[in-house]
Amino acid sequence: MEISLMLRMPETAAGKQALAELSAQVHAQGVLQQIDRLPCSLAQKQALVDAILHETKAGE
């Protein structure tokens, strides 16, 4: 069975913004899933998430 996909980039500013937001959400979910799988305590995981948020905000 062959599956064919056709992707189109949004052409409007609103569409581009929506795609950027969706992309960021998917990326964040992936990061959180990876952190969740780490073999460390919940407190350490929370500290890691806090550090990521701090660095992200500092870079803005």
pLDDT tens profile 18-58: 999 999 999 999 999 999 999 999 999 999 999 999 998 88
Predicted confidence (pLDDT) at residue 5 exceeds the cutoff of 90: no
Rounded to whole angstroms, the Cα distance separating 50 from 55 reads 9
**pLDDT given for residue 7 in this prediction:** 83
pLDDT score at 12: 95
pLDDT grade, residue 15 (50/70/90)?
Answer: very high
* Residue 50 to residue 10: CA distance in whole angstroms: 33
Quote the CA–CA distance of 38 and 44 in Å, as a whole number. 10
